[in-house]
Amino acid sequence: MKPETKRLRALLIDDTPVNLQVLTAALAADFNVQLATSGAVGLALAAKAPPDLILLDVMMPEMDGFEVCRRLKADPVLQTIPVIFLTALSAGASESVGLTLGADDYITKPINLEIAKLRIHNLMEREALRKEVSAQRDELQQALGSLERTSGLLQEARQRELEVGRSIQRSLLQGQTPQGLEGASISVFSAPSQVVDGDFHDIRRLNANCFEILVGDVMGKGVPAALIGAGVRTAYYQVLADLMSSGRWQAAPARPAQIVNQLHLLLTTRLTELACFVTLALYRVDLMTRTLCYVNAGHTPGLLKRAAQTGAVTLTGDNLPIGVEPAEVYAEQSVAIGPGDILALFSDGVTETRNEQGEQFGMQRLTALMARANIATDAALPDTVDAIIQSIQQFGAGQQVADDQTLLLVGLTPKARRNAAYET
């Protein structure tokens, strides 16, 4: 029997009871919640038992949130605890002060429960990744200190670092298939070239009839590429939260082009500083209107196998990757879809697999495999993934895998079918 997972603890510091009630409701499912109605009481509780998260009101009598934050960040024991400010001030009036003090995020008043949950979830996901990376760094430093005894220990530590990184990637960087999709089945294959990889994907259910899939590939390999991929996924969540908080989401969900252009504005400067770029594509499947809308930012084109046709349609895009051209404007395209159609999304590691003669597997072979695909039974979609991957592996038999490989198939079925996902 697996040991019970320790629940995280959150400390709420706010002098307004109604705010404490709303935030307790937002956190109760995932946290043990502790309440403080003043800055002094909050500091005392944090010193007695450091929490995993602090939500801190800015405007409080006697000691405001800024002063509480200063004292938290000055304490070696408490300074790494994530802090989210609760504020009714304008962003311009408080953001620069809070960020200077070390705040991690803001939730504005009046508090929107759904947006608060999303921001808290995103922050804790980043914090979990930071702790894992810090633990890996500590392990690697210990291994380096033992290098003079044996070089084999360094190699072992490096392999362990990669294995731990792969575990992190599976749990934090790769999306889980959402439940409750009516009329769609999803199957995923993912294999790194160096234990951890720069491929990433996210599958997000917008409602019972609509979901979107983000796929991407970071330039480079290994741990740095995986961390950048994590940052892109986190930025995607942040864009969704910002668009939801703008109020326009309630009227109609933001279009894929709007989301990708916001990602571009958020990420391009940072990626340029890292001398890196990211290819990605965002696909939105609307089963009610039977449309597929997508934006392709330099990623490998998708393939759409229609039930009524023998071939497969290539879903091309003309936009550059994220992080290449600051002035780039990303355009959205739309195609009709229907029951029996299959959408294939993949990274370039799939088509660029080489055989002994140096020949690439290529789009033509993949398109031919897709042309024969069908989803007449529940098992057909994962079986199709199996068949495609086996063909690629047989083609490149004996050759080292040079790039990360991700293949994701979406089948549109007349009724809900089981979802499947597997990784190697």
Range in 209-218, 290-299, 403-412 with the lowest mean pLDDT: 403-412
Q: Is the pLDDT of residue 422 over 50?
A: no
Q: Is the pLDDT of residue 171 over 60?
A: no
**SS3 readout for 177-216:** CCCCCCCEEEEEEEECCECECCEEEEEEEEECCEEEEEEE
C-beta of residue 346 within 8 angstroms of C-beta of residue 366: yes
312-315 vs 302-305, strand pairing mode: antiparallel
Residue 38: how many CB atoms within 10 A of its CB?
17
pLDDT of residue 294: 97
List the Cα angle 191/196/202 in 5-degree steps.
70
Distance from CA of residue 383 to its chain's centroid? 27
CB atoms closer than 10 angstroms to residue 389:
17
Position 140, amino acid: L
Q: State both tokens at 212.
A: 């979107």
Kind plus residue range of the DSSP H or E element containing 230: helix 222-245
DSSP string covering 340-373, please? T-EEEEE-HHHHT-B-TT--B-HHHHHHHHHHT-
How far from chain centre, in Å, is Cα 76?
31
pLDDT confidence of residue 151: 55
Predicted model pTM: 0.61
Q: Average the pLDDT over 150-167 and give the result.
A: 56
**Rounded average pLDDT over 110-138:** 78
What distance separates the 2 farthest-apart alpha carbons in the chain? 75
Work out the average pLDDT over 220-232: 79
pLDDT given for residue 420 in this prediction: 42
pLDDT for 146-155, tens place per residue?
A: 655 555 545 5
**pLDDT above 90 for 315:** yes
What the block records as the tokens of 319 is: 């936009």
Mean pLDDT of the chain: 80
CB 69 within 8 A of CB 83: yes
pLDDT at 226: 77
Least confident of 120-124, 147-151, 281-285: 147-151
Q: What is the number of other CB atoms lying within 10 angstroms of the CB of residue 134?
A: 11
- Beta-strand pair 53-57/83-87: parallel
Instruction: Give which of 220, 185, 217 is closest to 203, Cα–Cα.
Output: 185
Q: Which of 99-103, 292-296, 351-355, 411-415 has the lowest mean pLDDT?
A: 99-103
Determine how many CB atoms are found less than 10 A away from the CB of residue 19: 18
Nearest one of 377, 376, 369, 417 to 394, comparing CA atoms: 369
Burial of residue 376, with CB atoms counted within 10 A of its CB: 0-12 exposed, 13-18 middle, 19 or more buried:
exposed
